[in-house]
Chains A and B, each alone.
Chain A
Amino acid sequence: MLIGFDTLVFYTFAVITVLAGLSVITARNPVHAALFLVLAFCSAAGVWILLEAEFLAITLVLVYVGAVMVLFLFVVMMLDINIEKLREGFWRWFPFGGVLAAIMVGQMIWVLGSRQTSETGAQVLKHSASYSNTKELGRLIYVDYVYPFELAAVLLLVAIVAAIALTLRRRKSVKSQDPAKQVLVQKSDRIRIVSGVGKHGTE
């Protein structure tokens, strides 16, 4: 049987996603790893478009690639991570972790690769041209899933509160600027008029 165009595109994107994902964890340079993650996101967005989820695909590129990953790159560059130090002890624990991972992968292949499981090839529903993925998504989020959606907002609020509570500390030794005070400064605060001017206008 000939494989259709869709299948070909899917496998292309899938292979790129998996390879990029592998590179993320094997790349020596954290900046390269972050860039590979960008590639993985982009190819995943391709798969989503294939599934007629255009809005999600565009959001993935805009939000994750455009905003989150840029922020991530900034952080990686600022932190100056020492890779060699992170890799210390990797080979020492590798046999242990490797055997565990091999056992788990073997078990998963054993279960998921069984005849029954591999036959689960559901056909992806195709919609007419008038179908709006965005509208459908909106209905799901604001009607069907409104409760978890609101709770997700609470989750974000907790994250904000926690981040501020953990990082904001008033330490006396830190020099900081207070713009309000800077604006309100008076001439008399800064300039001291020295009396007793000398003969030539200077002392």
Chain B
Amino acid sequence: MSYLLTLSPAYAEIFLLVMASAILIADLFVVSKERTLTYVLVQLTLLGCALITTVTHEPNVMQLFNGMFVGDAMSDVLKLLSYLAVSMALAYSRHYLLVRGLFTGEFMVLTLFALLGMMVMISAAHFMTLYIGLELLSLSLYAMVALQRDSVAATEAAMKYFVLGALASGLLLYGMSMLYGATGALGIAAISDAIRHGVENKELLVFGLVFVVAGLAFKLGVVPFHMWVPDVYHGAPTAVTILISSAPKLAVFAFVMRILVDGLQPLMMHWSGMLAILAVLSMAIGNIVAIAQTNIKRMLAYSTIAHMGFLLLGVLSGGTDGYGAAMFYAVTYVLMSLGGFGMIMLLSREGFEADMLDDFKGLNQRSPWLAFMMLILMFSMAGVPPTAGFYAKLSVLQAVIDAGHIPLAVMAVLFSLIGAFYYLRIVKLMYFDSPDSNAPISVRFDNGLLISVNGLAILALGIMPGALITVCAMAVQQSLLLR
């Protein structure tokens, strides 16, 4: 019994696993096409996880399973945000999937398993758990992209995602094995210690680092490892795109923090240069290519690439400020992405996908409130002042300047300006163009409420960003003390 009590930091993971397996079985006995019972169970599971994570929160850093699992403030905060993001993504996509006949028990169970993978990644302090968490997340996502069997685009996207994801995993594992060879350790803390005490062969270490960074870049979707992002975001059903683009970014942020910052901090002089190249290329290609897109899902995909570049800027500046800013950026990005893809699903109806830019023409005349929400989302993505996106960009830029990378900051601002063009183009389409069709927009009450809360939250976070910034900074600070 006492052993079970020591597992308290992992209770949320255990609960989620048990519930996911139970729901898998319970779903067999649900006859209704609406899958209401399964859906409610899934949402209750997420709520339960949130409660458990809150109750089992400890002010100090907890290590479990021979130091393979770590529970600290950063992991708890990121987990809570992941539950929220997954819960919102499911709520947004329920109706969308129902009318397309894709709202199955497997979809929800795979979502829960993907969430479990994210949680494992967030709490991982060992190469083994980092990798297994990543695979658990990726495998669930590959399958979910392919779930729409009749869509050629979805199958193609799944294939690309799977093959390139496998390649990325290979690169990551190769890098990890090199690091293991150089340090003789797999645990994050042990690796950090080994490097600090001097490693015989520095070359091998840096060699492994290059592969690890390349693998991470693949998973983050930053240039030049970004080719899968637009195709997957575009080809996957929007309900899956919203999942891929939201909570996993938090998990990958934790992944980057654990490997590069906690484990390979002594090599920062090496990896910060690599991240700088990746970040600048991502912001350049992401923002410039997004201008040429006519499909809003592809456009948001390129915008993701640019945003991930910005996030890397925060990581490479280092220090509590830099990491805190990167975490704040990840959180606001998740909120914006949820809203953006949620809006596409809201405007779609049976047999119609509102995924072209032209579908947003004259939205103000058809539904002023939705147009206003989209305006907030686009302003936030562009980084226009009273929104959260502005503060996210500002705090990252501050960290970059404090770290003394003035040219990087200048380039970041320039590319953000270029990026503002295509975000504001949507605002122009909504407010100054006349609609192509006057088909009534029927928004279900719950989805309307959700998008309103989402949009207003972005506005509120932009006006009062202090609390979240403090939480992020504190969370990151504790995780840095871990070493």
Contacts and interface: CB of A to CB of B under 8 A. Distances in A.
Interface of A: 108, 111-112, 114, 116-117, 120, 144-148, 151-152, 154-155, 157-159, 161-162, 164-166, 169
B306 to A, nearest CB: 27
A197 to B, nearest CB: 49
Contacts of B68: 145, 147-148
B65 interface: yes
A152 B120 CA distance: 12
Contacts of B113: 154, 157-158, 161
A159 B135 CA distance: 11
Contacts of B478: none
B285 interface: no
A155 B169 CA distance: 15
A151 B146 CA distance: 23
B110 A148 contact: no
Contacts of A158: 110, 113, 136, 139-140, 143
B203 to A, nearest CB: 5
Contact of B143 (A116, A120, A154, A165): A165
B438 interface: no
B353 interface: no
B64 A111 contact: no
A120 B203 contact: no
Contacts of A159: 139
B147 A111 contact: no
Nearest to A116: B201
Top-6 shortest CB links A-B: A162-B143, A165-B106, A147-B65, A148-B128, A151-B132, A158-B113
Contacts of B136: 151, 154-155, 158
Given A144-B66, A147-B65, A154-B116, A116 B147 contact: no
B207 interface: yes
Contacts of A152: 132
Given A111-B203, A120-B201, 20 more contacts: A111-B206, A112-B204, A117-B204, A144-B66, A145-B66, A146-B65, A147-B64, A147-B65, A147-B68, A148-B128, A154-B17, A155-B132, A155-B135, A157-B21, A158-B113, A158-B136, A159-B139, A161-B143, A162-B142, A169-B149
28 contacts: A111-B204, A116-B200, A116-B202, A117-B203, A117-B204, A120-B181, A120-B204, A144-B66, A145-B128, A147-B65, A147-B129, A148-B126, A151-B133, A152-B132, A154-B116, A154-B136, A158-B136, A158-B143, A159-B139, A161-B113, A162-B143, A165-B106, A165-B107, A165-B110, A166-B143, A166-B146, A166-B149, A169-B149
Interface of B: 17, 21, 24, 64-66, 68-69, 104, 106-107, 109-110, 113, 116, 120, 126, 128-129, 132-133, 135-136, 139-140, 142-143, 146-147, 149, 181, 200-204, 206-207
Nearest to A162: B143
Contacts of B140: 158, 162
Nearest to B184: A122
Which of B64, B109, B140, B143 lies at the interface centre, i.e. has the most chain A CB atoms within 10 A of its CB? B143
B4 to A, nearest CB: 13
Contacts of A148: 68, 126, 128-129, 132
Contacts of A157: 21, 113
Interface of chain B: mostly helix, strand, loop or mixed = helix
B139 A165 contact: no
| Chain A interface main SS type | helix
A152 B131 CA distance: 10
A49 to B, nearest CB: 22
A154 B110 CA distance: 11
A162 B69 contact: no
A151 B149 contact: no
B110 A161 contact: yes
Contacts of A145: 66, 68, 128
Given A120-B200, A162-B110, A169-B149, A112 B207 contact: yes
Given A151-B120, A169-B149, A112 B143 contact: no
Contact of B109 (A144, A161, A166): A161
Contacts of A155: 132, 135-136, 139
B144 to A, nearest CB: 8
Contacts of B65: 146-147
Contacts of A116: 200-203
Contacts of A144: 66
A114 to B, nearest CB: 6
A106 to B, nearest CB: 13
Contacts of A147: 64-65, 68-69, 129
A162 B147 CA distance: 9
A161 B204 CA distance: 39
A126 B146 CA distance: 49
A111 B208 CA distance: 11
Contact of B207 (A111, A151, A162, A169): A111
B208 to A, nearest CB: 10
A147 B136 CA distance: 14
Contacts of A114: 203
Nearest to B129: A148
A53 to B, nearest CB: 17
A149 B481 CA distance: 28
Contacts of B24: 161
A155 B139 CA distance: 8
Given A147-B69, A161-B24, A162-B139, A117 B106 contact: no
A117 B132 CA distance: 29
A112 B24 CA distance: 48
A152 B128 CA distance: 10
A108 B211 CA distance: 11
Nearest to A153: B17
Contacts of B129: 147-148, 151
A8 to B, nearest CB: 25
A150 B477 CA distance: 31
B215 to A, nearest CB: 15
Contacts of A164: 106
